Structure 1
Amino acid sequence: MTHPPHPALFDNPETGAFWQAAAQGRLLLKSCRACGSAHWYPRAICPHCGSADTHWQDSTGQGVIYTFSVLRKAKPMTVPAYVTLDEGISLFTNIVDCDPDSLRIGQRVALRFIDGMDGTRLPAFAPA
């Protein structure tokens, strides 16, 4: 049974734009105008230089598998992973729509969105 997305996600001033974009099938990242670095997780202050001059940018949705694990006993089987995006940041996510035995570290992946248990759209990745 799915539930409607949690309203607090959309009302959060630091992450609300991220969740609203995800509901539309877009992956937003925070980037700093002062130092030019993207960062994850979304927050108002740049963790690299301390500047408050941050803004949202669309991600390309492309990256590589940094590391992963296959949870074969999970129902359904899942593949949690860290994916390093082309923008240079890594995020914890899931690899979907694949044969887990064919996955390799460094493999190119592309963004997909999946529905979380509460109906919230979550970024996931599949082999490119």
Structure 2
Amino acid sequence: MGTYARPDFRLAPQPTAESAAFWTGGERGELLISKCSDCGHFFHPPGPVCFRCRSRNVGPEATSGRGVVAAYTINQQQWLPGLPPPYVVAMIELAEDRDVRVTSSVVAVDPADLVVGLEVEVFFEEWGEGEDRVWIPLFRPVGINDQGATA
């Protein structure tokens, strides 16, 4: 397994009314994903209406924060200062609903060891200040701590 060091820079999102819970749930260690109270399905990205049944009876709900890597790419180009390559961008299939995928980074793993189906869990990096603070969900192999060591 690889190690992980927090980068010097990340582009922080600007949450909308629908996405605010997703970007701030990490303050409490929760990966909040929209769920429809009528049909019972999770969905992401968040929105005001369930795309499956068209209900407006939706809201954020805490998930386990666990899932598997469904697809990934290893970026070798340095597009942003302070975020050196290589880094992994992946689609994480959530344990609660296999149809729900979150795009994020997978860290604390050597990119050569990354495989589709790898079990991962969420952790959060806090970025910004004051009202602009967000908690970006990142994923690492199950059983690895923030520094990449086996927990």
RMSD: 2.4
Distance in structure 1 (CA, Å) of the matches to 2:110 and 2:88: 10
Distance in structure 1 (CA, Å) of the matches to 2:127 and 2:87: 13
- CA 1:116–1:95 in structure 2 vs 1: closer, same or farther (change >3 Å)? farther
Greater relative contact order structure (CA < 8 Å, 6+ sep): 2
Contact 2:37 2:57 in 1 (8 A): yes
- Which residue of structure 1 aligns with residue 90 of structure 2? 81
- Which residue of structure 2 aligns with residue 34 of structure 1? 38
What pairs up with 1:1-128 in 2 under 5 angstroms?
9=15, 12-74=16-78, 75-88=84-97, 89-115=100-126, 120-128=134-142
Q: List structure 1 runs of 4+ shifted beyond 4 angstroms.
A: 115-119
Pairs aligned (count): 124
**Normalization by structure 2: what TM-score?**
0.72
User: Identity percentage over the alignment?
Assistant: 27
Secondary structure at the counterpart of residue 46 of structure 1: coil
Distance in structure 2 (CA, Å) of the matches to 1:2 and 1:13: 25
**Normalization by structure 1: what TM-score?**
0.83
